[in-house]
Amino acid sequence: MKSIKDKTEKLQKVLANLGHGSRREVEGLIQAGKISVNGQLAKLGDRIDVQTQPKIRINGHLISTRMKEQDICRVLIYYKPEGEICSRHDPEGRATVFTNLPRLKNARWINIGRLDINTSGLLLFTTDGELANRLMHPRNEIEREYAVRVFGQVNDEQINQLRKGVQLEDGPAAFKSIQSQGGENANQWFNVVITEGRNREVRRMWDAVGVKVSRLMRIRYGNIILPKRLPRGGWTELNINDVNYLREKVGLAAEEKSFLTPEQRKNKYKRIKAKRPIKS
């Protein structure tokens, strides 16, 4: 534990707060030997005091250690299309979710959780690493709602099993709610809610009861809903009330300023942008 006079913080927490990724992403950079402090390669567990102005380099580039409190917390909704991955760079050259986002100076967008390449829908990005880290932590139990299309008939026994819980390789899992939305022929639609963000969790739960998912879309995160007018590959920025809703959910202080102008706050759909149209 830190002593009362100890002003140091874990390196990954400091860098996350400064907008250089989530804590998990920063830990990966440390393990890969891509971060140095005062000329020495960083190690997991290292602590720093930003007041001493340490020279921190990421991939050889010196970064600013200004305190995050001086910046405005920004959050975007992005409508992720199928076929994009949630990584900044891909050796295979596949499209990434970062391509269409607005450019930033002295900061970068951090994705709050992930959607797999075949899943579309609502994905949140923020400039605040601590907000991203807390929202992704399972203890906060943020609801995620998905629209799911499955192939074939689903019986009451399977539905009850999904409500009660199924056993996955990384532990038991259950839908907080599951509601039929109808369908045509062999395709049936359901809305399901989970409160964790495990890898491919929704697909694996349906697989556990012998049902194949043919389409999956996230439509809600907490009380943030995917806007109907937002095109695939498009983004829109949350206003200060929505940002502070997310901050309150995870015990962070409210923001007093917004990046948006008064005119932008009046009409959020003027802020909806897409780099290119994406066809169905």
pLDDT digits (tens, 9 = 90+) for 146-192: 999 999 889 999 999 999 999 999 899 999 999 999 887 788 999 99
Task: Please indicate whether residue 116 is annotated as part of the active site.
Answer: yes
pLDDT tens figures, 111-134? 999 999 999 999 999 999 889 989
In terms of pLDDT, which residue wins out, 12 or 4?
A: 12
How confident is the prediction for the chain on average, in pLDDT? Answer: 86
Average pLDDT, integer, range 6-13: 84
Its CATH class, for the domain covering 143-221, is: alpha beta
Report pLDDT digits (tens) over 28-51.
899 999 999 999 999 998 999 888
pLDDT of the residue at 231: 94
* Segment 199-216, tens digit of pLDDT: 899 999 999 999 999 999
Residue 68, pLDDT score: 46
Q: Is the predicted pLDDT of residue 64 greater than 80, yes or no? A: no
Residue 236 confidence class, pLDDT cut points 50, 70, 90: very high
pLDDT at residue 271 greater than cutoff 50: no
Q: Which CATH class is domain 9-69?
A: alpha beta
pLDDT at 145: 97
CATH 3.30.2350.10 domain position(s) in the chain: 71-138+223-273, 143-221
CATH 3.10.290.10 in the chain, residue ranges: 9-69
Which of 46, 49, 90, 116 is flagged as catalytic?
116
Tell me how far apart the alpha carbons of residues 222 and 250 are, in angstroms, rounded to a whole number: 11
pLDDT confidence of 261, banded at 50, 70, 90? low
Nearest Cα neighbor of 85 from 98, 100, 96 is: 96
Q: Average pLDDT in the 231-244 region? A: 94
Local confidence band at 69 (pLDDT 50, 70, 90 cut-offs)? very low
**pLDDT beyond 60 at 222:** yes
* pLDDT beyond 60 at 273: no
Residue spans of beta strands (DSSP E) within the chain: 9-10, 35-37, 40-41, 47-48, 56-58, 61-62, 75-80, 110-112, 119-126, 144-151, 166-168, 171-173, 177-184, 187-194, 212-221, 224-225, 234-237, 273-274
pLDDT of residue 270: 44
| 211/162 Cα distance (integer angstroms) | 11
Hey, which residues does 180 pair with through a beta bridge? 190
Q: May I ask the CATH class of domain 71-138+223-273?
A: alpha beta
